[in-house]
């Protein structure tokens, strides 16, 4: 029998508020395996755990690419996102034990009605990085991010200076080109992404170092701090 995604595992409040996590229900860990992962024997070639053949299909029952299960290392999983995507990354890690660490790039941790996400109410025992900007900071961020930080644990908050909400998107690359082509003024660019030329390299360094340390287990340059401008 084919296994399909169960819509009952989604949080309706997240869906109605514009956040769209697609995460399975929390699974308990069995002896000798990671929580939420199932193993049905090992592949004869590489000793890699394989799922039953009936599971090798997507949500529309189409066959998955051959060998896909050996192309991904699902024993080490990180999630990140921006804005609503950042909120989804944090909420997904809270609901799915297979996710080892998450980065929330300036996403609120509450529903539109003001109720805190579960991860903000009770904290987390897995690494969570909260990255914001001084140009988009408001009381809602302070309330929801302070809530998850208040529980302690491996949660860190970082703020980019002279940057705005859209610095985490492709606007960071497009805006300078639009200014150069006289299609956007320097002030308009600053209102959109800020005026910190080092912000994009800083985000790349921070996110890469965070996952190197928390998921791959090998700290590299920038793991301790990022080059804020």
Look up the domain containing 159 and give its range.
Answer: 75-229
Mean pLDDT of all residues belonging to the chain:
78
The pLDDT, as a whole number, for residue 66 is: 86
For residue 201, the number of C-alpha atoms closer than 13 Å in the C-beta half-sphere is 8
The pLDDT, as a whole number, for residue 182 is: 95
14 vs 162: CA distance, rounded Å: 31
Alpha-carbon torsion angle 195, 201, 205, 206, nearest 10 = 20
172 vs 71: CA distance, rounded Å: 31
Contacts of 20 (CB under 8 A, 6+ apart): 14, 84, 88
Residue 2 pLDDT > 90: no
Residue 144's pLDDT band (boundaries 50, 70, 90)? very high
- Residues 185-214: tens digit of each pLDDT: 999 999 999 988 889 999 999 999 999 999
CATH code, domain with 205: 3.40.50.1820
Whether 55 is in a domain gets the answer no
Whether 67 is in a domain gets the answer no
Instruction: Look up residue 9 and give its DSSP letter.
Output: G
Whether 175 is in a domain gets the answer yes
Q: Is the pTM of this model over 0.85?
A: no
The pLDDT, as a whole number, for residue 156 is: 95
199 vs 225: CA distance, rounded Å: 14
Q: How many CB atoms lie within 10 A of CB 35?
A: 12
- Residues 119-135: tens digit of each pLDDT: 999 999 999 999 999 99
What b/e readout covers 115-125, taking b as 16+ CB neighbours within 10 angstroms? ebbebbeebbe
Whether 39 is in a domain gets the answer no
Which has the closest alpha carbon to 100: 150, 35, 159, 49? 35
Whether 68 is in a domain gets the answer no
**What is the Cα gyration radius of the chain?**
20
Asked if residue 101 lies in contact with residue 211, where contact means CB atoms within 8 angstroms, the answer is yes
Q: How many CB atoms lie within 10 A of CB 166?
A: 21
Residue 220's pLDDT band (boundaries 50, 70, 90)? low
Whether 61 is in a domain gets the answer no
DSSP element (H, E) containing 88: helix 84-95
Exposed / middle / buried, residue 25 (Cβ in 10 Å: 0-12, 13-18, 19+): exposed
Asked if residue 199 lies in contact with residue 172, where contact means CB atoms within 8 angstroms, the answer is yes
The pLDDT, as a whole number, for residue 218 is: 82
Whether 143 is in a domain gets the answer yes
Whether 179 is in a domain gets the answer yes
Number of domains in the chain: 1
The pLDDT, as a whole number, for residue 196 is: 87
The pLDDT, as a whole number, for residue 25 is: 38
The pLDDT, as a whole number, for residue 23 is: 37
- Residues 17-71: tens digit of each pLDDT: 344 333 333 333 333 334 333 333 344 444 444 544 556 788 899 998 888 878 8
What SS3 class is residue 109? coil
């Amino acid at each position: 029998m084919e296994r399909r995604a169960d819509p009952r595992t989604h949080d309706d409040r997240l869906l109605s508020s514009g956040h769209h996590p697609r995460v399975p229900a929390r699974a308990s860990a069995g002896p000798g395996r990671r929580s939420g992962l199932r193993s049905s024997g090992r592949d004869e070639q590489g000793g890699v755990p394989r799922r039953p053949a009936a599971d090798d299909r997507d949500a529309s029952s189409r066959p998955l690419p051959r060998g896909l299960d050996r192309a991904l290392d699902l024993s080490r999983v990180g999630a990140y996102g921006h804005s609503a995507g950042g909120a989804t990354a944090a909420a997904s890690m809270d609901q799915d034990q297979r996710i080892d660490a998450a980065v929330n790039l300036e996403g609120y941790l509450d529903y539109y009605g003001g109720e805190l996400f579960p991860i903000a109410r009770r904290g987390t025992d897995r690494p969570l990085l909260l990255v914001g900007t001084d140009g988009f900071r408001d009381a809602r961020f302070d309330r929801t991010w302070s809530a998850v930080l208040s529980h302690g644990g491996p949660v860190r908050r970082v703020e980019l200076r002279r940057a705005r909400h859209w610095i985490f998107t492709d606007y960071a690359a497009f805006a300078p080109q639009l200014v150069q082509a006289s299609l956007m003024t320097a002030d308009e660019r600053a209102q959109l992404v800020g005026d910190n030329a080092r912000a994009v390299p800083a985000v790349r360094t921070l996110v890469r170092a965070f996952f190197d340390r928390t998921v791959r287990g090998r700290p590299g340059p920038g793991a301790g701090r990022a080059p804020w401008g």
